[in-house]
Amino acid sequence: MRPVTPELPAFYQRYIDLVPEPDIFSALENQQKELKIFLGSIHTSKADYAYAPDKWTVAQVLQHCIDAERIFAYRALRIARGDKTPLPGWEENDYAAMAPVRTLLDLTEEIMAVRRSNTLLLMSFSEEAWGRTGTANGRPMDVLSLAYLIVGHMRHHIKILQERYGL
């Protein structure tokens, strides 16, 4: 089962395209295993490293991933439960500026906990819930697309950490 919302904004579609797996639950669980290995390989001295001026540090990228996954899951919950209230957007740079400084160990633990919690949430949805749509950030959004966004957004940022940050 793959997302099929034709009105999905291009900036979301690029994340979904990073998830070729047809089974979102396998993708979520496999990514959690990969994340544990990848995050465990990052030396603590890299937490404050940014590859260029005005770019986020490694720790800020990881905090952003946590924030985004929570927001995607929250949106999925609201839409899955039939809530038709338009959901607001969020400004990632404002969130980054307000986030406390955290250790890589703390961030890794939280990423693992958030992913496990969100996987359990998504597993609780009925077949009917997966097909529900709502509005997020002024655009149509469906539950399945949000689940794929969780995996694809993380893949996008892990790739950046590997390629631009040398991790």
In a domain, 46, yes or no: no
Classify residue 126 as exposed, middle or buried by CB count within 10 Å of its CB (0-12, 13-18, 19+): exposed
**Three-state secondary structure of 123-137:** HCCCHHHHCCEEEEC
What are the structure tokens assigned to 66, written together?
């946590």
Range(s) of the domain holding residue 73: 55-167
Q: Which residues contact 35 (CB under 8 A, 6 or more apart)?
A: 111, 112, 115, 154, 158
Q: How many separate domains does the chain show?
A: 1
Q: What is the pLDDT of residue 9?
A: 79
Cα four-point dihedral sign 65, 164, 25, 18: positive
* DSSP structure string for 75-125: HHHHHHTT--SPBP---HHHHHHHSPP--HHHHHHHHHHHHHHHHHHHHT-
The answer to whether the pTM exceeds 0.85 is yes
- At 11 the pLDDT is 84
- Residue 156: predicted pLDDT: 98
> Is there a domain that residue 27 lies in?
no
45 within domain boundaries = no
Q: Contact 39/106 with Cβ under 8 angstroms?
A: no
Model pLDDT, residue 3? 76
Q: Give the model's pLDDT for residue 53.
A: 94
pLDDT in tens, the chain (167 residues): 777 666 777 888 899 999 999 999 999 999 999 999 999 999 999 999 999 999 999 999 999 999 999 999 999 999 999 999 999 999 999 999 999 989 999 999 999 999 999 999 999 999 999 999 999 999 999 999 999 999 999 999 999 999 999 99
Q: What's the CATH code of the domain at 126?
A: 1.20.120.450
Contact 44, 120 (CB under 8 A): no
Cα–Cα distance for residue pair 109/112, rounded to 1 Å: 5
Q: Residue 49 falls within a domain, yes or no?
A: no
User: Does 2 reside within a domain?
Assistant: no
Answer whether residue 89 is part of any domain: yes
At 144, phi and psi to the nearest 5? -60, -40
- Answer whether 86's CB lies under 8 Å from 138's CB: yes
